[in-house]
Amino acid sequence: MTRILRRGDVERLLTMREVVEWMREAFGSISDGVARVPVRGFLDLPDSRDGLLTMPAWQPNPPRYAVKLISLHEKNPAMGLPFAHATVVVIDSSTGELKGIIEGELLTAIRTGAGSGLATDLLARDNAHTVVVVGAGRQAATQLEAVSVVRAIDECHVVTRSRETGERFAAEMADKLGLRIRWIGRDDPRSSDVLRAADVVCTATNSSTPVLSADELSPGVHINGVGSHRPDMAELPADLIVSSRVFVDQREACLKEAGDIMQPIESGLITADDLAGELGEVVLGRVAGRTSDEQRTVFKSVGNGVQDLVTAVRLLEKAERDGAGLEVDLSR
C-alpha cells in the first residue's frame, strides 16, 4: 500500500522542533558516509530556465530511497501559480515497493528551516536573542520559526525592499510565534544598524547578488544562508565568507552549486580547504563548531536530498501511527 500525504497532512503532522532533531540524523548520515546522496540533477527545457530538478537519496535504516521532483516554471507567478511544484516519493529499497507520495513544497520549507535551526543550535552563541531575517517568503518564515525553537529570541526584524510584503510577514509571524517582529526597508539606512545588532541573521531570498555586507555584521554573529542555490547566485558577500568560519550542508554539492562559496574560490580569495567542514561533522564531533564568542560563523546550504528522505520517512511513520493521509493500492 502507498500512503499519500497532502499539504494539510504535512502541516498537521510536522512540528519544527522534531524536524530540527531529525536533521541531526540527516546531516550526520551525510558526513559519516552512511547515506548515498548524488548531486541533484536538472533537466532544462529549450529556450527557457524552466525544467525539472531531481534530488535522490538513500539510507539503510530503514532501507529507503527518496526522490524529490521539483518542476520550475518562470511564468507561473504572473499567472498566480507557484514558481515551483515539489513532490517527494519514498520507496522501500529492499523490495521496490512505493511507500509514500508527499506534497513537497511545505516539507521542503520546513526541513530547510530545520537545517538552519540545527546550525544555529550548534554554531550560534548560547545567549543569542536577536535575529534578522532578510526575505519574507515561506523559506524566511521557517528560518525564523526554527531559530526561535533553538534560542530564546526576544527581538526580531524582517528586512525587505517591499513594505507591504515585509509588514504582512511581520504581522503573520508575530501572531504565529508570539514574538515582537518589526519590518525595516532594505534601503533604509537604519537597516545596517539592525543587522549590526543581530546575533543571528538568516538570508532567504532569490537574489543573485549579496543582500548584505560584511561590515554591517558584528563579531560573533551567526549567519544562515539558504536562498542562493546556483553558481551564478550569491546572497552572501565574498568578504563575509573570507572573514568567517564557514560550514556547509554537503561539501560536494556546495562546491558545485553554491555561488556564495564557488565565487570566492574562483576569485582566489579562499580555497575549498578553507571551509571549516560540513554541519554533519559538527554533529558527529569530528569538527569543532564555534571556537570563540567573537568569531563569525556561517552555515551555507543548497538543500540536500537526505533532508527530504529523513523527513519523509519519519513523517510517513507518524502518519501511519495516526492513520493520516490516504492509503491506496496502485497495483489494482
pLDDT of 70-90, one tens digit each? 998 988 878 888 888 999 999
Same domain, 267 and 253: yes
Same domain, 263 and 148: yes
The residue type found at 284 is L
**Share above pLDDT 90 across residues of the chain, in percent, rounded to a whole number:** 87
Q: Is the pLDDT score of 128 beyond 90?
A: yes
Same domain, 233 and 151: yes
Same domain, 63 and 204: no
Same domain, 26 and 159: no
Same domain, 169 and 257: yes
Residue-level pLDDT at 206: 83
Instruction: Place 100 in a pLDDT band, splitting at 50, 70 and 90.
Output: very high
Cα 322 from Cα 265, distance rounded (Å): 48
Residue-level pLDDT at 289: 97
Give the pLDDT confidence of 142-200 residue by residue, as tens digits. Answer: 999 999 999 999 999 999 999 999 999 999 999 999 999 999 999 999 999 999 999 99
* Those residues with Cβ within 8 angstroms of residue 8's Cβ, 6 or more apart along the chain or in another chain: none
Same domain, 34 and 90: yes
pTM for the model stands at 0.94
Residue-level pLDDT at 69: 97
Same domain, 36 and 51: yes
Give the pLDDT confidence of 29-86 residue by residue, as tens digits. Answer: 999 999 999 988 989 888 887 999 999 999 999 999 999 999 989 888 788 888 889 9
CB neighbourhood size of 164 (10 A): 10
Residue-level pLDDT at 75: 87
Instruction: Summarize the confidence of residues 7-18 as an average pLDDT.
Output: 97
∠ CA 116-117-123 to the nearest 5 degrees?
A: 80
Domain count within the chain: 2
Same domain, 285 and 224: yes
Residue-level pLDDT at 232: 87
160: β partners: 185
Contact indicator for 207, 229 with CB cutoff of 8 Å: no
Contact indicator for 53, 40 with CB cutoff of 8 Å: yes
Same domain, 191 and 273: yes
Distance spanning both ends of the chain, measured CA to CA: 10
Domain of 237, CATH number, reads 3.40.50.720
Instruction: Place 230 in a pLDDT band, splitting at 50, 70 and 90.
Output: confident
Same domain, 34 and 158: no
Same domain, 314 and 282: no
Q: Is the pLDDT score of 207 beyond 90?
A: no
Range of the domain at 65: 2-107+306-328
Residue-level pLDDT at 231: 87
Domain of 94, CATH number, reads 3.30.1780.10
